[in-house]
Structure 1
Amino acid sequence: MEIHDKVVLITGASAGIGSATARRFATAGAKLALAARSADRLHRLAEELKAQGSDVIALPADVSDPKQVQRLIEETVRHFGRLDVVVNNAGQAAVGAIADINPEDLRNIFDLNVIGPLTAMQAAIPIMREQGGGLIINVSSVVAKMNIPGIGAYAATKSALNMLSDTARAELASEHIRVISVYPRATATEFGKNALGTIQSPPQGSSNPSDTPEFVADNILAAALHEPDEQYMAE
């Protein structure tokens, strides 16, 4: 999809991969609706991008709340008149062995990592149908395809998101609505610090070099431009 002048909603946009993605899409000429729980950070980013000439609105919201997700979609369309791309990036980890993980932590991240994107998709699909097409980008993780002790709960949410994405891709293909799964690797963000639960030792592979948020954002933009089914981190 050509991104210039397209309306793009990005969740989890206040920091890390989300804010880097907002900057990349702004550079590509997109009109941006930015959502996150951290209102102060979100408004600062929006003002930064506006100062650079981008058309941006900040929409503070908790994506784990379906009513707030519905409002995000409605306010984006009300402001811009359309919605071309949804980047479901907001997410949180929960760490701990399967024997010890707090089920409530899993419920909380499932609401954010799975129900949030599902609600956004369900709200956006009717709009995209009326427009004749659109693009949904769900940010997954390579851990969904691995078996790493200590992060099984988080990996389970991303596996669930993958299945929703794969099925929606098949269901919506004839309506020109593309669904893409993006698979970041270890990334240098505050993501780990914000994880729920505790773990006694780092997950295997945690000492590997981390990608920058900007590198991941480049790959998300590449996914939007070229529309593969899945986007891994291309060097």
Structure 2
Amino acid sequence: MDFHGKIVLVTGVGPGLGKACAEAFAKARAKLVICDINLDNLAEAEKVVAQHGAECLAVQCDVSSSAQVSAMFEQLIQRYGRLDVLVNNAAITPTTPLDMQRRTTLYDYNALPEPRRSLAFTSEITDAEWERFWGVNVHGVFYCTREALKLMQKQQSGRIVNISSIAGMSSKSAHSPAYSATKGAVIAFTKSVAYEVAGANIFVNAMAPGGVATPQFNAYLDHVGEESCNRLWQSVPAGRFGTLEEYAGTVLYLSGEHYLVGQVISPNGGISI
């Protein structure tokens, strides 16, 4: 796909899907705006984009802050004056040691002949744990979408791709009710906004990945060992998780010319059909 001359904003370009999307758009000759809260992650993504000769504006931004998002868009407008594609990728994922413990508990519960019981996840979630997911995963998507639409509505064109998760449409991530709730909210928000703006040639859709073979998740698999990994793969008909390049390719498709409005595309290897 060719995005020559298109202005594309990708949020959350740390290691994983965000950086993979930025690189894919760079290869497709887009002009990029990238953001991340972590300066080291931002610099690394900017370096990757530069290797493909793409023009890039890198902005440190915490998308959970309305003020910081507004300031980022001011820089975008000063540089380019328009926005063709927004990829709302920035998110907090369940990666703390407690999250990993809950994840392993869920996988074992699903695969082993254990007595049925409450897994006692939700009852142990603190206010702080619950709220930290919402700031980035939901509020950040809203803040960025609001600013993007101010530009796209004037242009009468645009594409917005919200990165949700299989966690928002199934019980596969029951180990993290807070994360699942936010990703479900992203799907509902996507459908509502998509209906609202489709008449202005602004198409809003979501991608809801299944497992993503990120460095962080591969490290988790190494930690739990071969037996636990084998139990996990029993729940994935394809026998593996999707690669970053495969998911980034889907994002590029949703950012191009198509007839999709308010759809949730879930590449997940058959985990949820």
Establish whether TM, by shorter chain, passes 0.5: yes
Would the alpha carbon gap of residues 182 and 57 (structure 1) be closer, same or farther in structure 2, given more than 3 Å must change? same
Query: Counterpart in 1 of 2:224?
Result: none
User: For residue 145 of structure 1, what is the amino acid of its counterpart?
Assistant: M
Kindly provide the amino acid, as one letter, of the partner of residue 28 in structure 2: A
Match of 1:197 in 2: none
Task: Give structure 2 stretches of 5+ with no counterpart.
Answer: 103-120, 219-227
Describe the shift of the 1:125–1:2 C-alpha distance in structure 2 as closer, same or farther (beyond 3 A): farther
Q: How big is the shift at 1:163? A: 0.8
Mark the structure with the bigger radius of gyration: 2
1:168-217 deviation per Cα after TM superposition (whole angstroms, max 9, x unaligned): 00111111111111111111225669xxxxxxxx9xx8545222211111
Q: Is the 8 A contact 2:187 2:264 kept in 1?
A: no
- Whether the 8 Å CA contact 2:2–2:29 is kept in 1: the answer is no
- Per the alignment, residue 267 of structure 2 pairs with 233
Aligned to 1:141: 165
- Is the Cα contact below 8 Å between 2:10 and 2:88 reproduced in 1? yes
Partner-residue secondary structure (3-state), 1:225: coil
Structure 2 partner of 1:161: 186
Q: Is the 8 A contact 1:141 1:183 kept in 2?
A: yes
Deviation at 1:231, TM superposition (A): 2.2
Structure 1 runs (4+) deviating above 6 angstroms are: none
- Measured in 2, the distance between the counterparts of 1:186 and 1:226 equals 27
- Asked if the contact 2:159–2:202 (Cα under 8 Å) also holds between the matched residues in 1, the reply is yes
CA distance in 2, matches of 1:44, 1:63: 19
Distance between the aligned counterparts of 1:45 and 1:122, measured in 2?
25
Q: Does 1:105 align with 2:129?
A: yes
Q: Which has the higher strand share?
A: 1
Letter in 2 for 1:63: V
Secondary structure, counterpart of 2:5 in structure 1 = coil
Partner SS for 1:99:
helix
Partner of residue 11, structure 2: 11
Q: Does the 8 Å CA contact 1:93/1:192 hold for their aligned counterparts?
A: no
Q: 1:31 Cα shift?
A: 0.5
Q: Give the structure 2 partner of residue 213 of structure 1.
A: 244
CA distance in 1 between counterparts of 2:266 and 2:186 reads 16
The 1-side partners of 2:122 and 2:257 are apart by 38
Q: Distance in 1 between matches of 2:3 and 2:47?
A: 21
Aligned residue type for 1:231: I
Seen in structure 2, the aligned counterparts of structure 1 residues 54 and 14 have a Cα distance that, compared at 3 Å, is same
Out of 211, 220, 224, which is 2:255 matched to?
A: 224
> Structure 2: how far apart are the matches of 1:150 and 1:221?
30
Secondary structure, aligned partner of 1:138: strand
> Would you say the 8 A contact 2:242–2:267 is kept in 1?
no
The answer for the alignment partner of 2:37 in structure 1 is 37
1:95-137 CA-partner distances (Å, limit 9, x unpaired): 4511111221111110100000001111111111111111111
Higher relative contact order (CA 8 A, sep 6+): 1
- Contact 2:242–2:268 (CA<8 Å) still a contact in 1? no
CA-atom RMSD in angstroms: 2.5
- The aligned counterpart of 1:21 is 21
TM-score by length of 1: 0.88
